[in-house]
Amino acid sequence: MGAPNSRRRCTPATCRPARIGDGRPPFLVVVDVGQSIALYAEFTRSGGNYLPFPDPQSYRIEAGRPDRRRSRELLRTVWLDPMSLDPPAAAHG
Taking the CA atoms of the chain, what radius of gyration do you get in angstroms?
Answer: 14
Q: Is residue 48 part of a domain?
A: yes
For residue 5, the model assigns a pLDDT of: 44
Cβ atoms of 71 and 79 within 8 Å: the answer is no
Q: Is residue 36 part of a domain?
A: yes
Residue predicted with more confidence, 26 or 20 = 26
Q: Is residue 1 part of a domain?
A: no
- What is the rounded distance in angstroms from the CA atom of residue 7 to the CA atom of residue 29? 15
**Full-model pTM:** 0.72
Q: Is residue 72 part of a domain?
A: yes
Q: Is residue 15 part of a domain?
A: no
Parent domain of 57: 23-92
Q: Is residue 3 part of a domain?
A: no
Number of domains observed in the structure of the chain: 1
Q: Is residue 53 part of a domain?
A: yes
pLDDT at 93 over 90: no
